[in-house]
Every structure is written in structure tokens, then in C-alpha cells.
Structure 1
Amino acid sequence: MYAVIFRATLKKLDQEYTQKAQRMRELALNEYGCIEFIANTEGDQELAISYWPDKESIRAWKNNPEHLSAQQKGKTLWYQDYQVEIVEVLHKYQG
């Protein structure tokens, strides 16, 4: 299993952002094999972590045309800066 960690400094959020973020989450979960998607915003910082079964699913999701369009808007309108990390989950513990 893999996790994609997305961290961003927000520039400007609007109604379109809210709708697009919801759509991207639904698309990832329903069409690209995303196992879980968690996002939180505090002040001007956003953190989203999504879990995936394999790197191929992540790559397919990254290259989805609708997601590519959202990425471009993020770069120009919504985010001051961002970073993405893809990590392999080695252990998972639950209580």
C-alpha cells in the first residue's frame, strides 16, 4: 500500500475550489482505486493524505484529464506553493 501526502500553502479558496476538491475526492475513491482520502485545512495550510493499493493507480489518477485541469488551477489560483510525497506504507497499526 502507498500513501500520497499533499501539503500546500493556500493562496485563495473559493466556491469552485470547494466543488472541485469534492469532485476530485469522489473520482479518486470511485474510479481510481483510492482506499481512503483524508484532508484538513488549518489557517493557510492544507494537508491531504490518500491511500492507494499500488503506484500504477496513483499514476493513473495523476494523469486523469479532469485531475490535470484541477492541478493547473491549483498552481495558478488556489495554492501559493505545494509539495507531494509518495511513500510506501510498511506497517499499519490499529487500536
Structure 2
Amino acid sequence: MSDHREAPVMPVQAFEPPYYLAVFTAVRTADQDGYRETNARLEELVRSVPGYLGMDYAQSPGGPAITVAYFRDAEDLARWRTDAEHRAAQQRGRAQWYQSYSLHVAKVEHSHGFTRAEG
């Protein structure tokens, strides 16, 4: 979903399970007209979904882009999945922006993290 030019400094934190995630992996077409604007709007919109926890994004130059969105529960994720603007962007993505994509939804049952202390 994202078109970040810089990698985030920190990944999304580990949350207290259970929670849900959606992993969206895509290969884009050459025609990206309107993608950035739509993507910026969707990022703004998803932040307003109750239960939205955060997002991680990575892309290989010339390769697939991977976005992982985290939600507190299945209902929150369903709210995002069925949002009218999100649905319209999905249709445009299939028609114009994506060569291929996959979406995987999972319930997280274990989560932990690590941050190196500075100094």
C-alpha cells in the first residue's frame, strides 16, 4: 500500500497478542498515474480505523513491495477491508497499478521485539 522513499527507523512494535495482520505483496505495473495520491489518502484513512495498530513497508528495487498492516481484532481489519474508498482503490489497483499481488491475513498468537540500547 505504501510508496515510502525512506525506510522507517523502527519496525512496528510487538503488541500484546492476539492481534491480526494483513500482508499485501505486490508487483506494480509501469502505469502508476494517481498511485501516490491514492496511497497517501489510504494511509490517512487507515489511521482513522479503530483498532489500527500500525504498518510496516519494504520494497526491493524493481521487485515486490510488501506492506504489513496490524489491527487489534478481526472486526477492525474487516472494517478496513470493506471501507468504500479502500474498495475503490483496490479496483483501480487491479485495473491499473498492479501486475500481480497476494494478500495474506493472519492472527498473531505470539509477538516479541528487541531494540538495542544506544551507547
The two structures share one fold, judged by TM-score above 0.5: yes
Unaligned 5+ segments in structure 2 are 1-18, 115-119
Q: Tell me by how many angstroms 1:56 deviates.
A: 0.8
User: What CA distance in whole angstroms lies between the structure 1 residues aligned with 2:22 and 2:97?
Assistant: 19
After TM superposition, list the pairs within 5 Å mapping 1:1-95 onto structure 2: 1-12=19-30, 14=32, 16-42=34-60, 43-95=62-114
Provide the aligned C-alpha RMSD in A: 1.4
Q: Higher strand proportion, which one?
A: 1
Unaligned 5+ segments in structure 1 are none
Higher relative contact order (CA 8 A, sep 6+): 1
Q: TM-score, normalised by structure 1?
A: 0.90
Q: TM-score, normalised by structure 2?
A: 0.73
Confirm or deny: 8 A CA contact 1:3 1:87 kept in the other structure.
Answer: yes
Identity %: 26
Structure 1: 4+ residue segments shifted above 3 A: none
Q: Higher helix proportion, which one?
A: 1
Q: SS at the partner of 1:49?
A: strand
Confirm or deny: 8 A CA contact 1:7 1:46 kept in the other structure.
Answer: yes
Aligned pair count reads 95
Structure 1 or 2, whichever has the larger Rg, is 2
